[in-house]
Every structure is written in C-alpha cells, then in structure tokens.
C-alpha cells in the first residue's frame, strides 16, 4: 500500500515514519524545499528531528501530483487554515473514487467556523471517505516509537477495517462514531493549553493548573455538545486525553506559547509571528468565541485567553477575573 502524506512538518514526518513500518511506500508532499530534499535524499528531517534516520521506503516531493499518484489513502497533516486550499489542489489533480482522505490536523477554519472534515468534503467531494485521526500524539514521541493511542472517526468507509492498517505495537487506533465531538475536542484543547501556559508562566502553581484544566474541560464539553457532539467523547482520548497531554507536556507548542506570553511581557502577536510552528490555539480562541456568541453559551476561560492574546489584557488580571466571577454550582 502507498500512503500520501501532505505535510513535511514534525507530525507529518513522525506519522510517515510510523506508517513506513507496515506500508510498502510513504510519500510526503511539502512546500519547504530544504525539508523535502532532506527527506528524499538523506532520509532525515533535521529541521525537526536532527539526524534521526527515516526509513528507505519513505520519500518526499514538491510535486503534489507525484505524491498522490497511486495512493491508497491521503493523510492531511497541515495547518488548519491551509486545508481548504490544498484540498482544492487535490481535487483538481484528481483521486480515484473511494480513496479515503484522513485529516490529522487539529482546528477549525476561522473564516467559516467549519470543521476540517467538512472543508475536505466540500473541496474533495462525496466520492471519497473523509476521516479524522486525532488524539494525544506529540510527534516527538511518535517518531521515537513511544506508546500512543488515537481515535479514528468519519463517514463513508468501514473505519473498523482501517484500524489494523493504521495501528502497530506502539500506535493503537480506536474508532469513535462521533466525528463532530472528536474534531471539536481536538481543536479546543489547544485554547486551554494556552491558558495553562499563561498560568505556568505566572508561576501560579499546581492547584491553578488543575483548576484551569478541569473547568476548561467543562467549556470544551459545553461547546462540543452545542455543536452536536456526544458528551462522552470529551472524556475520551480526543478530549480529556489530548487535553492532559497538551496542557502538561514540554513538547506542547500551545502551552509553551502561553508560558512565553506570560513571561516575556511581549506582544503576543510578535511571538506568533516568530513561531516556527503554527500555534493552533490562537486561531481556535477566535473561532470558539464566534461559536460561543452564535450558540449563546458561556466560555469564560476562552474569553480571558482571547483578551490576553488580542486585546492586551494582563494575564494576572485575566486570572483574577476568573476567580472573582459570580459563585455557582460546579455543574453549571
């Protein structure tokens, strides 16, 4: 089998290395010439993984048609705001009917507030199964073969039959009927990771971190259910599992970004502009507040993160605002 992976970043490279253990060939497409050359010619990606060797059946190209040719599945591992444009290119090149397209990207399209699987279906068409593969999966650990479990959901295919094709002894794939909840959870946890990073940067301690994560989970479930997700999904791998990982790991770009904002006393936009990797939580914060207004729900942590990032609010004032809100029952 041949896998086409669109994206040569850390996650695309790590997932490709994983698939190369059981698939005949893995081809990556990217727009960064240096990364593509390194993967194709030297079988490594020093921009993210130093001299770590990549398998010989894993290659890369700047030509999208070459990567798509003969693919048995296409995996989208790109920044969320780039998904539509690349999906349109995939459509224009053409895929044989029935070839599944699976997104491993976490986020929503800001301009439309649509889930990425919806964007893929709109651009690539109904003749292709559309899936998502999401969960607690830092590239830095997957590439080393450390045990990881994720969730596969979508429409148009027997996804149970895809579980063994995507799994290994160190990468376990579960299925879930609730693609809406899985996508919303995977996107929203980045907002809470920024909030936790802000608290860590202010050195507010473990009690604060636990509080923000727990109340953040409530916000995630509140938003996800309003959008049609199953409440139980937010207490699974794509929800609380990914939130724990993203909020506590030194690999987390969203948590690290929040900490840098609190410590640097620097304009958050300047930090975003100089970030090597996309901080998806910053985009999701804006999307979540738009959805919050549309569905008349309350997301206080999200609101404070937004005000710190985009309205110049001091992080300490943001935390004080959360602590001084009207007292209420925990279930509200």
The DSSP code sequence of 152-216 is: EEEESS-HHHHHHHH--SSEEEEE-S-HHHHHHHHHHHHHHHHHHHHHHHTT-HHHHHHHHHHHH
**Tokens read off for 267:** 């304009």
List the one residue out of 104, 101, 153 whose CA is nearest residue 126.
101
CA distance 83 to 239: 22
CA distance 193 to 27: 32
CA distance 180 to 65: 30
The helix (run of H) or strand (run of E) holding residue 291 is helix 280-295
290 is catalytic: no
List the one residue out of 220, 222, 238 whose CA is nearest residue 178.
238
Provide the β-strand partners of residue 148.
Answer: 171
CA distance 288 to 284: 6
Out of 189, 290, 294, 313, which one is annotated catalytic?
A: 189
Three-class secondary structure of residue 241 per DSSP: helix
Provide the β-strand partners of residue 153.
Answer: 132
The helix (run of H) or strand (run of E) holding residue 6 is strand 2-6
Which CA distances in Å does 166 have to 101, 213, 282, 321?
A: 13, 30, 30, 45
Are the C-beta atoms of 24 and 57 separated by less than 8 Å? yes
- Taken in order 87, 89, 94, 96, the sign of the CA dihedral is negative
Active site residues per annotation: 189
């Amino acid at each position: 089998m041949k896998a086409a992976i669109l994206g040569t970043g850390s996650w695309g490279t790590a997932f490709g290395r994983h698939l190369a253990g059981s698939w005949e060939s893995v081809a990556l497409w990217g727009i960064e010439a240096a990364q593509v050359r390194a993967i194709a010619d030297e079988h490594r990606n020093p921009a993210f993984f130093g001299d770590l060797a990549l398998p010989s059946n894993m290659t890369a190209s700047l030509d999208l048609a070459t990567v798509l040719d003969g693919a048995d599945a296409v995996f989208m591992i790109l920044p969320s705001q780039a998904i539509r444009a690349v999906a349109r290119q995939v459509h224009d090149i053409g895929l044989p009917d029935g070839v599944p397209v699976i997104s491993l990207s976490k986020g929503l399209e800001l301009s439309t507030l649509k889930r990425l699987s919806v964007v893929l279906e709109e651009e690539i068409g109904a003749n292709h199964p559309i899936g998502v593969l999401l969960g607690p999966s830092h590239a830095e650990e997957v590439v080393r073969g450390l045990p990881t479990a994720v969730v596969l959901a979508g429409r148009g295919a027997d996804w149970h039959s895809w579980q063994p094709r995507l799994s290994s002894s160190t990468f376990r794939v579960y299925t879930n009927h609730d693609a809406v909840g899985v996508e919303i959870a995977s996107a929203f946890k980045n907002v809470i990771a920024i909030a936790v990073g802000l608290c860590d940067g202010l050195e507010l301690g473990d009690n604060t971190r636990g509080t923000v994560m727990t109340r953040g989970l409530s916000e995630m479930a509140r938003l996800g259910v309003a959008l049609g997700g199953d409440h139980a999904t937010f207490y699974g791998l794509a929800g609380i599992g990914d939130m724990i990982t993203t909020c506590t790991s030194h690999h987390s770009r969203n948590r690290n970004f929040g900490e840098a904002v609190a410590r640097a006393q620097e304009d958050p936009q300047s930090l975003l502009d100089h970030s090597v990797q996309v901080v998806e939580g910053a985009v999701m914060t804006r999307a979540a507040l738009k959805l919050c207004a549309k569905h008349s729900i309350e997301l206080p942590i999200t609101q404070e993160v937004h005000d710190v990032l985009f309205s110049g609010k001091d992080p300490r004032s943001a935390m004080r605002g959360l602590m001084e809100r009207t007292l209420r029952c925990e279930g509200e």
